[in-house]
């Protein structure tokens, strides 16, 4: 059985491949060196769970934990290609849920009008 870090490493490599296959330049994006680096990145994304849940590009790119390389990929590669949006957000949700399994539960319940 794979660790969370190994799972994230595989998914992050898959995302990078998918972006490249869809003509998104990933030149400045660091290639994850290992599982620990992937977990740390996912933990940073977990701080953005509300923006990811809302699929809010503005909140995402304004966050200080996001590197300029990621901002460029999002602004110049993903946003202009509407057909990439859903899968892009699903990748980010997957990364967050891997490190914070209940990160979106409260957000989903509050948007449904239910109390936690």
- Cα–Cα dist 63/66, whole Å: 6
| Tens-place pLDDT, residues 33-48 | 899 999 999 999 999 9
Q: What angle do CA 55, 57, 60 make, to 5 degrees?
A: 95
Q: Are 35 and 9 in contact (CB under 8 A)?
A: yes
Report, as an integer, the average pLDDT of 99-115. 68
pLDDT digits (tens, 9 = 90+) for 59-71: 999 988 788 889 9
Residues, the chain? 116
- Cα of first residue to Cα of last residue in the chain, in angstroms, is 32
pLDDT confidence of 114, banded at 50, 70, 90? very low
Domain residue ranges in the chain: 4-18+35-111
Closest CA to 100 of 1, 26, 8, 10: 8
């Amino acid at each position: 059985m794979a660790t969370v870090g190994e799972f994230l490493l595989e998914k992050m490599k898959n995302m990078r491949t998918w972006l490249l296959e869809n003509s998104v330049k990933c030149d400045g994006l660091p290639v994850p060196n290992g599982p620990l680096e992937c977990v740390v990145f996912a933990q940073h994304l977990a701080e953005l769970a509300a923006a990811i849940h809302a699929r809010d590009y503005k909140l995402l790119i304004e966050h200080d934990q996001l590197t300029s390389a990621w901002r460029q990929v999002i602004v110049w590669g993903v946003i202009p290609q509407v057909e990439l949006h859903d899968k892009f957000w699903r990748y980010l949700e997957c990364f967050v849920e891997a490190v914070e399994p209940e990160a979106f539960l409260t957000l989903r319940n509050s948007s449904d009008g239910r109390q936690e």
